[in-house]
Chain A
Amino acid sequence: EAGVTQSPTHLIKTRGQQATLRCSPISGHTSVYWYQQALGLGLQFLLWYDEGEERNRGNFPPRFSGRQFPNYSSELNVNALELEDSALYLCASSSPGLADEQFFGPGTRLTVL
C-alpha cells in the first residue's frame, strides 16, 4: 500500500512569491492535515480537511490557505512568502470515522530567499 506522498520534495522561492504544495493521502483516507515545522521547532498545526471541507485551522495568517479535491488529495498555498515561511511542510492523512492515527508524508522543504 502506497503511503502519503508530497510534491515537490524541495521548493525554492523568493520573498513575495506564491508557493503551492501538494499532498496525496493513503488510498481510502478522507482526512488531510497540514503542519509546518520550522528548523529546530516542533510541528505546528496548519489546516485540517475532511471530505472536501476545511474543518479547522491553526494560528496562521490567511495567506496560508488550501483545499481538498474530490479525490481527497490536497493543496497548500502560501501567498506573499516571507523569509520565516522557510520550513518543512508535512502532510498527514487518516481514515474515515473517529480512528485518528495520522500517517505522515516525507514533507516538502520550502526555502524562501
Chain B
Amino acid sequence: DAKTTQPPSMDCAEGRAANLPCNHSTISGNEYVYWYRQIHSQGPQYIIHGLKNNETNEMASLIITEDRKSSTLILPHATLRDTAVYYCIVRVKKGGGSYIPTFGRGTSLIVHP
C-alpha cells in the first residue's frame, strides 16, 4: 500500500470549513483513498472514500487531485464534536491485491469555539 503524509495537527474555528490535506504521491492506479477519524478513546469511524472522482456524503467531501497524488477532506461546517485524529489511507479494495492498510499517525484536528 502507498504511504501517506499528513500534517500532525491543525485547528479550525467552529462553524468554519476544515480542510485536511493528505499527500499520497506513490499511489497506484487501483488504490483508493479512504478517510477515517478517531475520537479520543473510541474506535476509528469510517468517513468517506474515493478513487479519482470527488465524493460527498453526509459527513464530508473528498477532493482528489487530477494526478491523484494528493487529496483533501473537507468538513464543511466543523463542530466541537469533530475534534479527532483524522487518518488518510490508500489501499486496494478487497480482492485487488496485497491488502495491508497502513493508518499512520494522522492529523489531530482541534475545533475551537
Majority SS at the chain B contact face: loop
A102 CB-CB contact with B under 8 Å: yes
Contact present for A97 and B103 (CB under 8 Å) = no
**B96 contacts the other chain (Cβ, under 8 Å)?**
yes
Interface size classification for chain A: 20 to 34
Q: Which residues of A contact B (CB under 8 A)?
A: 4, 31, 33, 35, 41-45, 48, 50, 55-56, 58, 90, 92, 94, 97-107
Number of interface residues of B (CB under 8 A): 22
For B44, the closest partner residue in chain A by CB is: A104
The answer for the CA separation of A106 and B45 in the assembled complex, in Å, is: 10
Q: Is the beta-carbon distance between A104 and B43 smaller than 8 angstroms? A: yes
CB distance from B46 to the nearest CB of A (A): 5
B25-65 with Cβ < 8 A to chain A: 34, 36, 42-46, 49
Given the interface contacts A98-B93, A98-B95, A101-B49, does A90 sit within 8 Å of B43 by beta carbon?
A: yes
Tell yes or no: B7 within 8 A of A by CB.
no
Q: Of B36, B49, B99, B106, which contacts A56 at CB under 8 A? A: B99
